Structure 1
């Protein structure tokens, strides 16, 4: 699974800060909706928020993977935001989050969803990739880092 294939530069942003977890989820939803005809940003936001209500998608170590499954979606898509100023995210380790990788998958894609989440968990457990993502400040650099990591996992 090549995680970089889920992204494109329009769905990647490095930001100084966001005001809240909710605002970060809104931004990720908007980024995802602009890259596909359906669903719209509000539906994506509702899906991500519904998942958060089940429990925080914060992994710890400053990383969160908000995700959801959606009817009418044809393929998985992702968006990435890195922040200079971390946001409180109710992560299990209590640490604020500065790397958010949002994922939406078709409703019926349970196995694909789990495989992608497993790859993301593996990538975000790598201290070197975390450090590199935090140092990168352009869409191209962030995408290149994820592409390189994905290629080394074959």
Structure 2
């Protein structure tokens, strides 16, 4: 599963006025509902919060990766970047500033586990989170996020292989 295909600028919010975990999950659900014919924001919110009740989706360094399996045709994601973080059950007790929410089709659960692992291993890096949190608009944040997971090829890569 390609992380870079999960996001679009319309499913990114930079520094909205969100002061609670509940409101953050509502915002994520609203963004994830964009383009979903059969799912409402309320149903997505319920799925995300139900998953969160099983155990916190925070990974530390101000990052959470809320996720759920639902009846979606293809995986999608939403990125929420907050100015001031919200309190969650983070292992390091830091407020969460960056939420990367993901919905995946129920029949793609194995791919979904690999995706969460890839996101976690990348987004746990403190310096990287600081770079992401310095972004101020949707397109710049999307471009930066895509560059993290789909870096440009080295210009001499083809010449060396020949």
* TM band (smaller chain): over 0.9
Contact 1:3 1:146 in 2 (8 A): no
SS of the aligned residue for 1:27 comes to: helix
Taking the TM superposition and a 5 Å limit, the aligned residue runs for 1:89-108 are: 89-108=88-107
2:21 maps to which residue?
A: 21
Whole-Å separation in 2 of the counterparts to 1:36 and 1:129: 31
Q: Give me the TM-score of the superposition, normalised by structure 1.
A: 0.93
Taking the TM superposition and a 5 Å limit, the aligned residue runs for 1:1-154 are: 1-70=1-70, 72-152=71-151
Alpha-carbon shift at residue 8 of structure 1 (Å):
0.3
SS of the aligned residue for 1:80 comes to: strand
2:156 maps to which residue?
A: none
Whole-Å separation in 1 of the counterparts to 2:125 and 2:51: 25
Alpha-carbon shift at residue 2 of structure 1 (Å):
3.2
The alignment covers a number of residue pairs equal to 153
Unpaired segments ≥5 residues, structure 1? none
Whole-Å separation in 2 of the counterparts to 1:128 and 1:144: 17
**CA deviation string 1:51-70 (max 9, x = no partner):** 11011111111000010101
Q: Give me the TM-score of the superposition, normalised by structure 2.
A: 0.89
Whole-Å separation in 2 of the counterparts to 1:132 and 1:11: 19
With 86-95 and 25-34 compared, the bigger mean Cα shift is at 86-95
Contact 2:60 2:124 in 1 (8 A): no
Please give the root-mean-square deviation of Cα atoms over the aligned residues, in Å.
Answer: 1.6
